Structure 1
């Protein structure tokens, strides 16, 4: 495997790792929307918001890893 191919594979993994929390953020935002539209328990929305905050932090870390990888 060439060095360029290794870098491409590593970059693809880093992008995948950043995309996963974004998908979880989207799913939890949809859950909050359903909670608000259907008068479901407020606690469900709070739990979803906590997950969104955690996943935003994970995404930020993943993006930092991409930046660090790019600077190597």
Structure 2
């Protein structure tokens, strides 16, 4: 039996995969600002942690897309 996530239409699954990509992009921009403006290193480390988490979330979403076929 398919899980509720797998029952979603393809466009919703793609949307779910795109959301973490947007967060990854925003956090990469934050790291760039930190490095360019001599801001605290902790801000960059927090952004990197968020990037790692969102890469995994995107991977999970893509796996759901793959499994839904």
TM (norm. structure 1) is 0.84
1:1-72 equivalence runs, <5 A: 10-70=9-69
Structure with max Cα Rg: 1
Q: Relative contact order (C-alpha < 8 Å, sep 6+): which is higher?
A: 2
What is the total number of aligned residue pairs between the two structures? 62
Structure 1 ranges of 4+ moved more than 3 A: none
| Greater fraction helix | 1
Distance 1:31 1:17 in 2: 22
Distance 2:36 2:44 in 1: 11
Unpaired stretches in structure 2, ≥5 consecutive residues:
1-7
Q: Give, in angstroms, the shift of residue 61 of structure 1.
A: 0.1
SS in 1 for 2:38: coil
Query: Cα RMSD over matched residues?
Result: 0.9
TM (norm. structure 2) is 0.88
Unpaired stretches in structure 1, ≥5 consecutive residues:
1-8
